Copies of this chain bind each other. A is one copy, B any other.
């Protein structure tokens, strides 16, 4: 790869520019991109121009920059998660129609839950996740399910912390986390009242493809006495989705392993 005087490749800089955008910053000026990506303004301007020419970025009438449709298309149309997400959406819609709460689908990526699909119910309780957003494995119900079924080395790395608290209910202790993972495995779902937000309970079940856990399906419900009873609905949906995925020819695996 061609390198700049600082020894950084063009691709590294392109990825840094893409990484400057986020849910809280979907539109940026070149100056903001240069600051957030830690690149000289002239370099940022030159790269933004070429990335825009390829449709990876797009500019609005005020010359502000956002992620381009072409970038989305290149990522999406051959996405290893597309089969998983499209199958899951059907079952998530069924679940939402029956129980009336928000549902979401997360995969294990780089030691966190990456949420790849979400359906928000009209009268939904607070839900801090978003598509393309992440949560720590130890704090969220989807994360606990994924951690329970993660390779041993990923488990150990997470369990040994740090385990930051998002609320007073978040599991922050190594022994408590080990006990919780054993419990999730035993009962087949994770139940997290107030672990992420005091008003919400997360419930999550594993989604399997041919026996292997490829995702966690979650339900976000009010943190009240009725929450516990909903785990059976979620379990049924998780099993139905796992069956559907295991019948799909080819790969719906979220990762290339």
Contacts and interface: CB of A to CB of B under 8 A. Distances in A.
Nearest to A18: B74
A165 to B, nearest CB: 25
Contact-residue bracket for chain A? 35 or more
Contacts of A226: none
A122 interface: yes
Given A77-B131, A78-B66, A131-B82, A11 B9 contact: no
A132 B76 contact: yes
Contacts of A77: 21-23, 130-133
A75 B71 contact: yes
A119 interface: yes
A118 interface: yes
A11 B12 contact: no
Contact of A54 (B15, B68, B130): B15
Contact of A90 (B46, B56, B122, B132): B122
A25 B78 contact: yes
A107 B18 CA distance: 22
Given A9-B50, A255-B69, A75 B78 contact: no
Q: Which 6 A-B pairs have the closest CB atoms?
A: A2-B2, A77-B132, A58-B256, A21-B78, A75-B75, A76-B132
Interface of A: 1-3, 9-12, 14-15, 18-19, 21-23, 25-27, 46-47, 50-51, 54-56, 58-61, 65-82, 86, 89-90, 93, 96-97, 107, 109-110, 114, 116, 118-120, 122, 130-133, 251, 254-257
